[in-house]
Amino acid sequence: MVQNAMSAPSAPVQAMAQAVTQYVGLDVGDQHSHLCVLNAAGDILEESRVRTTPGALRARVTAMPRARIVLETGTHSAWISRLLAAPGHEVIVANARKLALITANDSKDDRTDAETLARLGRADPALLAPIQHRRAETQADLAVVRAREALVRTRTVLVNHVRGAVKAVGGGRLPACSTASFARVVAPVIPEALRPALVPVLATIATLSTTIAGYDRVMAQLGERRYPATAQLRQVAGVGPLTALCYVLTLEDPARFRTSRVVGSYLGLRPRRADSGTRTTQLGITKAGDGLLRRLLVSSAQYILGPFGPDSDLRRWGETLAARGGKNAKKRAVVAVARKLAVLLHRLWATGLVYEPLHDTHRRTPPTPVHEPAAVVA
């Protein structure tokens, strides 16, 4: 899964004014990247290696005739794609999840991968399922959200370690409390024998909680000052500042999608398909796209369907699905609500409409007739 890339489902690769004369496959590595250059007839003109540094790559492509350069999504693909496009080359970033021709190759190596990318780029760019990277500014702001998420995961691991360590010595269950207040609440009840081991861990948990709170303030400021669209999304109960900001930063531009309905698929919330003939197999979701945003939307869906979720069309629809019964009915309903929520948020963002929780219910309910009192006959 690529954390810093966005797929571009709504538009094919745009033709450039100047004709492409060469096709380049670039297999990127941390230290070196392998190049394969083809001419218009598909003949190999060059196979070489270049260091994966801005200076080396810039020097190599600046003197090159205008080319279509193909590379896969990965850690370096965002900055490399921007660097290669600067001299005027047509750069295509291929979705690595869609390139079974490379990943399933039983003779896989860097030179072969570079040649395969070049030949796919020459044949039909649509075969590469090209993606569009975010702007550098958006990527930097999204790094704040991801840094917070990394700290939250670390804190969770440490909290679970403390609880497990206390249980292992017969200390029983530690008091229930919020994660933010965990270090303060449980410190007095840590068994004496474990204090040398666990008190430093509690200090680290307290520091992480303070740092996470700082990130929360930074994200609130980002939403208010730079991404006012987050306020539009927060109209929906269960969508907080973190989910709204992550949604806006991940999608970046609502106009990228032809319709709101495709957002659910983009975020990996639609079921996988493996139909053959008359057989239809029930499969899990694809889990494509951004995993963090998908988890946040599922968390919001759990709130919507939970005991504190207010009445809404979304809640009623999810409860109807859960009531059908069957294995894992509630879990499937939560994922379905998360998918519908993703579509709803895009619609609110794209149109600027005011959210009405029971809009569909009121539209389907006929107005109550007003009966006039009978006339009194004298």
- The topology (CATH level 3) of 5-133 is Nucleotidyltransferase; domain 5 (3.30.420)
CA distances from 20 to 35, 299, 345 (A): 17, 47, 40
Contact 42, 119 (CB under 8 A): yes
For 184-211, write each residue's pLDDT tens digit: 999 999 999 999 999 999 999 999 999 9
pLDDT for position 15: 42
Beta bridge partners of 23: 38, 68
pLDDT value at 282 more than 90: no
Q: Among positive and negative, which fits the CA dihedral 130, 131, 135, 136?
A: negative
225 pLDDT band, cuts 50/70/90, is: very high
- Whole-model pTM? 0.84
pLDDT for position 2: 42
pLDDT value at 320 more than 50: yes
d(CA 116, CA 71): 10
pLDDT value at 274 more than 50: yes
For 122-169, write each residue's pLDDT tens digit: 999 999 999 989 999 999 999 999 999 999 999 999 999 999 999 999
Percent of the chain with pLDDT over 70: 90
pLDDT for position 97: 86
Q: Specify the residue for token string 């796919």.
A: 120
For 238-264, write each residue's pLDDT tens digit: 999 999 999 999 999 999 999 999 999
d(CA 334, CA 250): 21
pLDDT for position 4: 46
pLDDT value at 89 more than 60: yes
pLDDT for position 288: 87
Task: Name which residue leads in pLDDT, 103 or 225.
Answer: 225
Residue 139 in tokens: 């990527």
pLDDT for position 325: 76
19 pLDDT band, cuts 50/70/90, is: confident
Domain ranges of the chain: 5-133, 136-226, 237-363
Percent of the chain with pLDDT over 90: 77
Mean predicted confidence (pLDDT) in 40-52: 95
pLDDT value at 276 more than 70: no
pLDDT for position 10: 42
18 pLDDT band, cuts 50/70/90, is: low
Q: Specify the residue for token string 């840590």.
A: 190
Contacts of 106 (CB under 8 A, 6+ apart): none
pLDDT for position 360: 84
Mean predicted confidence (pLDDT) in 266-271: 92
Pairing of β 44-51 and β 90-94: unpaired
98 pLDDT band, cuts 50/70/90, is: confident
d(CA 101, CA 118): 13
pLDDT value at 7 more than 90: no
d(CA 125, CA 253): 23
pLDDT for position 222: 95
CA distances from 210 to 78, 179, 213, 214 (A): 32, 11, 5, 6
Mean predicted confidence (pLDDT) in 277-288: 78
378 pLDDT band, cuts 50/70/90, is: very low
Per the prediction, the chain carries an average pLDDT of: 90
Task: Name which residue leads in pLDDT, 326 or 230.
Answer: 230
pLDDT value at 306 more than 50: yes
Question: Comparing 5-9, 15-19, 31-35, 130-134, which segment has the lowest mean pLDDT?
Answer: 5-9
For 233-242, write each residue's pLDDT tens digit: 999 999 999 9
pLDDT for position 367: 63
